[in-house]
Amino acid sequence: MARRCEFLRKFLFLLQRKQLERDLQEEIEGHLWRKAEKNVSAGMSREAAYASARRQLGNLTRHREESRTSWGFPLLESIVQDTRYGLRVLGNAPGFATVAILTLALGIGASSAIFSITNAVLLRPLPYKDSPRLVHVWGKSARFPEFSMGMSYPDAEDLRAKARSFETVAWYRSGNLVLTGAGEPEQAPVAAVSSDFLRLFSVQPALGSGFQPDDYEMKNGRVILLGYGLWQRRFAADSSIVGRTVTFDGVPYTVTGVLPKDFSYADIDALVPLIPKAEEKTKRENWMFFTLAKMRPSVSARTAQAEADSFQAGLAQAYPKEESDSRLEVQPLLAAAVNGDTTTQLATLVGAVSFLLLIGCANVSNLILSRSVQRQREIALRAALGASRARILRQLLIESLVLALTGGVAGMALASIGIRAFRVLSPPTFSRLSEIRFEPVVALIALLVACAAGIICGLAPALHTSRADLNLALKERSAFTSLTHRFSLRSFLVVAEVSLALALLTGSALLVQSLARLMKVDTGFRTDHLLTAQIEMSPTRYASEDARRLFIQRIFEALRAEPQFRGVALANNSLLTHMTAVMSFDPELIGIHEKPTPLEAKSVSPGFFEALNIPMLAGRGFTDRDVKGSPPVVVISQSLAKRFYPAQEPLGKVFKVGTDPADAFQVVGVVADTRDIHLGQKLQPQVYFPILQDPYNGMSVMVRSGADPLTLVRLLQQRVWSVDKDQPLTHVNSMSEVIANSVAEPRFKTWLLSAFAAAGLALTLIGIYGVISYSVNQRARELGIRLALGAQSGDVLGLVLKQGLGMAVTGAGIGVLGSLALMRLLATQLYGIKPTDPLTLAGSAMLLLVVAVCASYIPARRATKADPMIALRAE
Amino acid sequence: MVRTASKNDLLPGTLDMLILQTLTRGQMHGYGIAQHIQEISEEILQVEEGSLYPALQRLLVKGWVKAEWGTSDNNRRARYYTLTSAGRKQLGIEAENFDRMVQAIARVMQTA
């Protein structure tokens, strides 16, 4: 209580400082006057009376100072004082301040942008209520270990009934709705959800209501819950939509409500009740319903996993045939939302940006250090006048903090720009991209980084300087003796900078080469002048296999009839989009003693190989006669032929995918291998089926053009819509764009890392330049003497260059060793180049040495121009 | 710097106590307080008069004394200090501490 009053009074005193000052002054003058009057009346002369009175009062300045101290907050005030002094000092050295602040702004801006992106992507909870408690329950089959599947309908129902770890279990199946009517037909992702789906996310519709139990039995016909985006886009945000009937895919739905604006899950545009088919309700091996669960508040993911394991063990016991080679995997929603690529990319970027920040700090440390050497006498003077070591240390630290915070504010602006640029430039596959924005936390991170940088940058020089020997420093020129010591710290910082920069350089050089090699990969087919699009057939309108076959046939004919399309190819899968269909193939079926192996399987149209320029090595491709009812045929790839038909002619041989007679195909052709999943893939054995014998409900359309393929978009749409005017075409793009998109992630990462490396290199250049020119200044006398004694300017040049080169070589040596260890972390992100590639390492080291020579050359030239007389006279 | 003890060296912290004690007689200005301390102590405790003022500021901040401007006997403005109740309490504490210390010193001196 008393302390609080005292604080309050001090605060009030602070506000009336001038009044207090005047009161004290008048009071002391009054005292003096009374004292003097008394002396006068005791018989002294007026002059002597005053002098004596003043003597008795003592050191008035000190008393006034002391009084002031008791009024205020002395520590705070001296900090304010130091800060003001620091600002003044910086103002007097604008060149130094600009370089230091820009360096820090660069380091702080880049690192706080990357750190906050990392925070937003990897650490911040997903935007759902209680999101840490939300998990996926994936089905994993031993047969396809790399795929995450859902659960079967009865398994999910059992899980909901039995699992005690979960308070809510919901599952869904995703599909597409075709939106027709005004404008072009559009395809919208939709999820058929079980009854607890919205409850799991604690979401209430913004308009209308969720699904009622009746809706799951279709008592009131089909119902739909519109997503906010779809409602805005397609229904002009009409709030009278609730209760009305809308038609999708020729099927009427009653709108029960609209989802809130801030709810999104997996880009779904609308929800419908999940009404399973009769066989889905009982079929246990049908693992196609993606399952979500909300754990009870005190349950950990580990406990939930343990329960899922025992749940699955129970199922395996009850249904050994269907359930024994599967297991369930509980994965928090956040972990699933961020893909592994994003995590490794962010890790790479965080590493790179930390290096950049460290280089920046080393540089600023060096700058402060060389300045503090110039200020040695000033500091020694302060110490001589009674400033304590702590006070000087504090003063120097405050100066570097002032520098760092100014850099931090500039860095914050840079970070804000950087984050915006990141959102625009980063590949769309980057997880949670839309959630990245400039936030207060960025400012906080920037300031924290700035303070840390300030302390790191300031501490070493401050400790060094405050230890300075008073006597030596005060004597003109004697600072020379302590120079070697201080110089070694500066050299150490430069060496550290060089080695960090080398690591950055090597990393970016590896990524650049990897990207270049990836772009030069031979895909095995012609990718230029190719327009591609995706067609998803509506399951209601093309329900039967015959309907699908007929549709594919008509599309193919409509496209082939267009003279501007120089080639037409259909396939059930798009090319170079990281997707493929894989089938498990047992070589024993054709008499080869090998384990079952995955094959890349594709259903393609007649003319596929010709349109894509895939060399036909033997036999024929598919023709119009390879339809339903004609003999089942396949075309195999060269590597499949070599591996499973060794030393024999594969044409005419039988290829079997099962024991059933319908699973036997005749090999009619052999084609060259292609890379059509993604550029960096290994070659895999491939098998092609005729699309008209094996129709899927989706297909990829490719047409070859004479001119820019994008000029044919309209024509392609018209041809498709001439067959079915309500058929949406999605992913319309040229193949070269598709390829560019498929390497968007590595390209973006490479670009960023190269920018960091370039910045690191520039900072290192400045660092070396700074140290060498400082040392040339300090050695002016020595160099002058050398010149006077007959040294050639070449000798002096060599002497100085050797010094710069010496630091660079040491740094590069350490950097090479460090890179050898560090680049292993990049191994998974590299294509066609080893992380320890000696040429890359040597090249990066050479580049750094060249930079070091350039940075030393300018001060070295200056050294040779040193006039020996001036240097000697300065003595 | 070598310091020799002189007669006006006070025990640290005692100046505050002396001021508070002096003010128990009623409100006084700075000059008056200095005069009083010197007269009562028969000129042994010669406070460096200037140091009175930082001490008074300290006491003001602590809330142990109050100050207001008034007119002194010779018609000149002077700042008069009054003891507050908090100051009276503080004086009690300090006087007690002082007594204890003096007794302790006295005991040491006797046994020596």
CB atoms within 10 A of CB A673: 22
CB atoms within 10 A of CB A615: 13
Main-chain dihedrals φ then ψ at residue A215, nearest 5 degrees: -65, -25
Of A6, A23, A63, the CB nearest to B62: A6
Question: Which residue in this structure is represented by tokens 């994008």?
Answer: A710
Residue pLDDT, tens place only, A580-602: 888 888 888 888 888 888 899 99
Residue pLDDT, tens place only, A830-849: 888 999 999 999 999 999 99
Greatest mean pLDDT among A11-20, A82-91, A522-531, B52-61 lies in A522-531
What distance in Å separates the CA atoms of residue A553 and residue A855, rounded to the nearest whole number? 69
CA distance A408 to chain B (A): 38
Strand intervals (E) in A537-610: 567-571, 581-585, 597-604
Main-chain dihedrals φ then ψ at residue A637, nearest 5 degrees: -85, 165
Specify the pLDDT at position A647.
84
The H-or-E segment that residue A644 falls in is: helix A638-644
Phi-psi region of A596 (alpha: psi -120 to 50; beta: other; left: phi over 0): beta
Contact between residue A29 and residue B77 where contact means Cβ atoms under 8 Å apart = no
Q: In A467-537, which residue ranges form alpha helices assigned H by DSSP?
A: 470-474, 483-519
Q: Which two tokens stand for residue A327?
A: 């297991």
Tell me, yes or no, if B29 comes closer than 8 A to chain A by beta carbon.
Answer: yes
Contact between residue A678 and residue A745 where contact means Cβ atoms under 8 Å apart = no
What distance in Å separates the CA atoms of residue A770 and residue A758, rounded to the nearest whole number? 18
| Cα pseudo-dihedral A465, A471, A473, A476, rounded to 10 | 180
DSSP conformational letter for A645 = S
Out of A136-145, A406-415, A444-453, A701-710, least confident range: A444-453
What distance in Å separates the CA atoms of residue A319 and residue A321, rounded to the nearest whole number? 6
Phi-psi region of A32 (alpha: psi -120 to 50; beta: other; left: phi over 0): alpha
- Identify from B28, B33, B36, B61 which residue to disrupt to test chain A contact, counting A C-beta atoms within 10 A and taking the largest count: B61
Q: Does residue A570 surpass a pLDDT of 70? A: yes
Q: How confident is the model at residue A532 (pLDDT cuts 50, 70, 90)?
A: very high
Q: Are strands A633-637 and A530-536 parallel, antiparallel or unpaired?
A: unpaired
Contact between residue A46 and residue B37 where contact means Cβ atoms under 8 Å apart = no
What distance in Å separates the CA atoms of residue A643 and residue A620, rounded to the nearest whole number? 20
What distance in Å separates the CA atoms of residue A423 and residue A725, rounded to the nearest whole number? 36
Contact between residue A603 and residue A571 where contact means Cβ atoms under 8 Å apart = yes
Main-chain dihedrals φ then ψ at residue A815, nearest 5 degrees: -60, -40
Helix, strand, or coil (residue A690): strand
- Identify from A13, A67, A69 which residue to disrupt to test chain B contact, counting B C-beta atoms within 10 A and taking the largest count: A67
CA distance B106 to chain A (A): 31
Q: Among B68, B71, B70, B65, which Cα is nearest to B52's?
A: B65
Name residues 38-97 of chain B within 8 A of A (Cβ).
48-51, 53-54, 57-58, 60-63, 67, 69, 72, 74, 76-79, 86
What distance in Å separates the CA atoms of residue A678 and residue A684, rounded to the nearest whole number? 12
- Identify from B36, B57, B77 which residue to disrupt to test chain A contact, counting A C-beta atoms within 10 A and taking the largest count: B57
Cβ contacts of A774 within 8 Å, gap of 6 or more: A370, A373, A490
Specify the pLDDT at position B8.
46
Q: Among B54, B48, B18, B9, which Cα is nearest to B36's?
A: B18
What distance in Å separates the CA atoms of residue A164 and residue A180, rounded to the nearest whole number? 45
Q: Which two tokens stand for residue A571?
A: 């396939």
What mean pLDDT do residues A98-126 have?
A: 84
Q: How confident is the model at residue A22 (pLDDT cuts 50, 70, 90)?
A: confident
What distance in Å separates the CA atoms of residue B59 and residue B82, rounded to the nearest whole number? 11
Specify the pLDDT at position A481.
40
What distance in Å separates the CA atoms of residue B58 and residue A24, rounded to the nearest whole number? 13
Residue pLDDT, tens place only, A676-726: 888 888 888 999 999 988 888 889 999 999 889 999 999 999 999 999 988
* Interchain CB distance below 8 Å, B50 and A28: yes
Residue pLDDT, tens place only, A616-672: 999 999 999 998 889 999 999 999 999 999 888 999 999 998 888 888 999 999 999
Out of A1-5, A156-160, A264-268, A382-386, least confident range: A1-5
Q: Are strands A251-258 and A223-226 parallel, antiparallel or unpaired?
A: parallel
Question: Which residue in this structure is represented by tokens 């200090």?
Answer: B81
Q: Does residue A316 surpass a pLDDT of 80? A: yes
CA distance A84 to chain B (A): 27
Q: What is the mean pLDDT of chain A?
A: 86
How many residues are there in chain B? 112
Contact between residue A603 and residue A695 where contact means Cβ atoms under 8 Å apart = yes
Q: Which two tokens stand for residue A129?
A: 């209520």
- Identify from B49, B71, B89 which residue to disrupt to test chain A contact, counting A C-beta atoms within 10 A and taking the largest count: B49
Main-chain dihedrals φ then ψ at residue A428, nearest 5 degrees: -65, -15
CA distance A122 to chain B (A): 53
Higher pLDDT, residue A297 or A118: A297
Contacts 24+ apart (CB under 8 A), A305-310: A305/A329, A305/A330, A307/A163, A307/A164, A307/A165, A308/A137, A308/A159, A308/A163, A308/A165
DSSP conformational letter for A681 = P
Question: Chain A residue closest to B35 (CA)?
Answer: A35
Q: Give me the interface pTM, i.e. the ipTM.
A: 0.84
Q: Is the pTM of this model over 0.90?
A: no
Cβ contacts of A377 within 8 Å, gap of 6 or more: A473, A474, A479
CA distance B94 to chain A (A): 17
Q: Which residues of chain B are within 8 Å of residue A30 when distances are taken between CB atoms?
A: 29-31, 72, 76-79
CB atoms within 10 A of CB A519: 14
Cβ contacts of A256 within 8 Å, gap of 6 or more: A205, A208, A209, A210, A211, A212, A215, A223, A224, A225, A242, A243
Looking at residue A112, its amino acid is S
What distance in Å separates the CA atoms of residue A294 and residue A170, rounded to the nearest whole number? 9
For helices A2-15 and A60-71, what crossing angle results, to 10°?
120
Q: How confident is the model at residue A337 (pLDDT cuts 50, 70, 90)?
A: confident
What distance in Å separates the CA atoms of residue A530 and residue A737, rounded to the nearest whole number? 10
* Interchain CB distance below 8 Å, B50 and A71: no
Helix, strand, or coil (residue B69): strand
What distance in Å separates the CA atoms of residue A759 and residue A770, rounded to the nearest whole number? 16
Q: What percent of chain A has pLDDT over 70?
A: 95
* Interchain CB distance below 8 Å, B49 and A31: yes
Q: Angle B108-B111-B112 (CA atoms, 0-180°, nearest 5)?
A: 80
Of B31, B48, B61, the CB nearest to A30: B31
- In total, the C-beta contacts within 8 angstroms joining chain A to chain B are 76
Q: Does residue B5 surpass a pLDDT of 60? A: no
Q: Which residues of chain A approach chain B closer than 8 Å at the C-beta?
A: 2, 5-6, 9-10, 13, 23-24, 26-28, 30-31, 33-35, 37, 56-60, 62-64, 66-67, 69-71
